[in-house]
Amino acid sequence: MPDPSTSVTDARRTGTRALLAGVAAVVGILALAAILLFSNLPDADAFNARVERIFVENDSLTSGAEIKLLEILAASGTSFSEVLQSYRVIIFILLVFAAALLLAALGLLVAVVLLNRRMAEIERRGIQLNELIISRQQRVVLLNNMEFRLTEAAIETLAVLAEARMDEEVLTGAELEAVIQGRRPEDCEEAAGATRIKRLRDSLGNQMVSELLVRNIARKGYFLSIDKDVIRMV
């Protein structure tokens, strides 16, 4: 079977480039937003400057009530400056938090894209197996280092599919049932073989393994999507 190392490397490189480009885009957008936001915020000392200007331009205000009013305005300006400064800190924290969320979302998106590409590659090429060992007596199947204990009916179904794969044959449901039952395909039903395939997949348990190992070609039949040279019957 084709060696998937090149495609995996290319996918990893593509994912890395996409991630770096995405990080740069996120940082750039947030930096631009921060610059525009902070540049449009009012000056923290603007209110104090206006109050100071009132003091300078109205030096004739000497009564106690007028001076008290100016002192209140000055205190309000100081409070406004402190509040505006706290708003700047809050906005900065929110921008940092938004950047972290966007980067996390970008990382997950790239991971999902790479996973989908890898799954599509697996579906196109089939499962990459170095060895498939079928033991009818022990009712055990070894896929690389994964061990599956199957029922007698499931192991028999898998063994028939393995023999057909070694002969480069594709079996219909009726032909599969005929081989197992020792009858003619004309005397067997397609649904019976399809039921055996379903039970085999259920016995394997792992949905990805079972769906990609036992493949179905429309209007042709079932086959094992592996290299026939890796199959061993014991």
Residue ending a domain, choose from 125, 159, 185: 125
Q: 187 is in which domain, residue-wise?
A: 132-233
CATH number at residue 139: 1.10.10.10
Do 147 and 141 touch, CB atoms closer than 8 A?
yes
Which of 95, 125, 155 represents a domain boundary (last residue)? 125
Same domain, 10 and 121: yes
Among candidate residues 198, 157, 149, the one with its CA nearest the CA of residue 178: 157
pLDDT value at residue 123 = 58
| Mutual angle of helices 173-181 and 152-166, in 10-degree steps | 110
pLDDT of residue 195: 92
Question: What's the pLDDT score for residue 178?
Answer: 92
**pTM of the entire predicted model:** 0.48
The reply to whether 83 and 48 lie within a common domain is yes
Residues 120 and 153 in one domain: no
What is the widest separation between alpha-carbon atoms in the chain? Answer: 118
88 with 121, same domain? yes
Residues 69 and 138 both lie in one domain: no
Of 99, 125, 151, at which residue does a domain stop?
Answer: 125
How many domains would you assign to the chain?
A: 2
Q: In Å, how far from its chain's centre is CA 114?
A: 7
- Which residues of the chain carry a pLDDT beneath 50? 1-8
